[in-house]
Structure 1
């Protein structure tokens, strides 16, 4: 009788999501195997060709994500929820790319934008299940993450498979370290002078800050809080204290693969 009771408890725990691995260790294993970090840790690319040839670990992790119901999710802490959603966005983006690897290999696709249809973008495709329903990457970012969390640092964490994106970490986001991970991501992104910085014309930024400027609630003040990352010298830091101008760089949508480094 005790044996069957234990089995029932274990089954109930698993079926309600209580057994979900919030360390996201399966995903970290995928990232460590296929993400290449370079340029002093400021950038990364993904070996999509190798990942496409060895998709089992990623697919298993995505299955774990898809098995979580909305009711399960609501029982988690805010940090557990946000880590789950960021990892889901990045991991399903990897899935989207490797599912179309033949298009990249043939030259029919050069960026994620080439995976859309005549009347929709790739981010609008509902190609995966999450929280009980078919979802799209747009739903994850614009209807869930940006709506439910007042956290502008997510824009340095969500990676859309392009060279101008922030780097994809070689580890998963986890609740216990989420604040530190997001802070490191934003500092790293702003420290990458190919994407953000200060020159004689003023401050130049990634288009991400233009697209999502409203999320930063006074962008100039927000940037002042990251002056050590954005500015390379005391003179540049002084620039941030005044009424500086901002220009936005063109976005390189080339696939973030080793071939495009």
Structure 2
């Protein structure tokens, strides 16, 4: 009887372990809370002066082994955080700069190593994240620019991901410096122009937008796109 009991406990432990979180992003949260304001401004100068914790977190990311046993939410959270953390690394390695565009080939530069594979920011965005059919990633990954969605001052996590992505979408749409929304007229971020295919997976762009705004946009609303400000989000 005792053997059966311990076998049950052991199997339960294995089952819980298999479904536990594969990667701890708490260090990234502590970095973000120390150096990122509530409105998404990043103190790159201070991070550059004290890069120790960022480097430790990046090393942890590099040693991780994301694979098919991870849940979709775990995988999304991992790669969103990786994109944002390595973007910060790219900026502080070149700081001071006025814009990420002042760095040569910033998105194609292969400076990221994860699980033995060398990759670029574009690889993470286009070859991993966009293929996961979650358009709200575009409100979570941040290219260090004023017109980007703000860098959240907490890490994305598997357990809170849906709430975090929804809140990021609502926040981005309600920011009048990035999107001006009324019932019959839209002035939208160019993110919606560049990645329109991602936002039309289950209907029109307006169908997508109406999920994250209380305005009640008309299906016949006119759409224009705002100029994109590439100045650094510092």
Q: TM-score range by the shorter chain?
A: 0.7 to 0.9
Equivalents in 1 of 2:30, 2:179: separation in Å?
Answer: 30
* Structure 1 stretches of at least 4 aligned residues deviating more than 4 Å after TM superposition: 18-21
Which residue of 1 is the match for residue 71 of structure 2? 77
| Conserved 8 A contact 1:22-1:174 | no
- The TM-score, its normalising length taken from structure 2, stands at 0.86
3-state secondary structure, aligned to 2:40: strand
Which residue of 2 is the match for residue 26 of structure 1? 27
Aligned pairs, how many?
214
State the shift of 1:128 in Å: 1.4
3-state secondary structure, aligned to 2:156: coil
| Conserved 8 A contact 2:79-2:124 | yes
Map Cα deviations across residues 28-59 of structure 1 (whole Å, 9 max, x no partner): 0100110011xxxxx31100000100100000
- The TM-score, its normalising length taken from structure 1, stands at 0.78
Aligned with residue 223 of structure 1, among 203, 209, 219: 209
| Conserved 8 A contact 2:91-2:100 | yes
Which shows bigger deviation, 173-182 or 23-32?
23-32
Does 1:125 find its partner at 2:109? yes
Which residue of 1 is the match for residue 233 of structure 2? 256
State the shift of 1:242 in Å: 3.7
Map Cα deviations across residues 134-170 of structure 1 (whole Å, 9 max, x no partner): 11000000011101x1100000000000001101111
Map Cα deviations across residues 99-120 of structure 1 (whole Å, 9 max, x no partner): 111xx2xxxx31001101xxxx
Equivalents in 1 of 2:212, 2:183: separation in Å?
Answer: 19
3-state secondary structure, aligned to 2:229: coil
Which residue of 1 is the match for residue 64 of structure 2? 68
Does 1:214 find its partner at 2:197? yes
* Residue correspondence of structure 1 range 1-261 to structure 2 within 5 A: 22-37=23-38, 43-69=39-65, 72-101=66-95, 104=96, 109-116=97-104, 121-147=105-131, 149-198=132-181, 202-217=185-200, 218-228=204-214, 231=215, 237=216, 240-257=217-234
- Point out where structure 2 has 5 or more consecutive residues left out of the alignment: 1-18
Equivalents in 1 of 2:192, 2:162: separation in Å?
Answer: 20
3-state secondary structure, aligned to 1:126: coil
Distance 1:166 1:146, change over 3 A: same
3-state secondary structure, aligned to 2:118: strand
Distance 1:169 1:19, change over 3 A: same
3-state secondary structure, aligned to 1:73: coil
Map Cα deviations across residues 48-80 of structure 1 (whole Å, 9 max, x no partner): 0001001000000000000013xx533211111
3-state secondary structure, aligned to 1:254: coil
3-state secondary structure, aligned to 2:159: helix
- Point out where structure 1 has 5 or more consecutive residues left out of the alignment: 1-17, 38-42, 232-236
3-state secondary structure, aligned to 1:44: coil
Equivalents in 1 of 2:58, 2:84: separation in Å?
Answer: 11
Equivalents in 2 of 1:212, 1:127: separation in Å?
Answer: 25
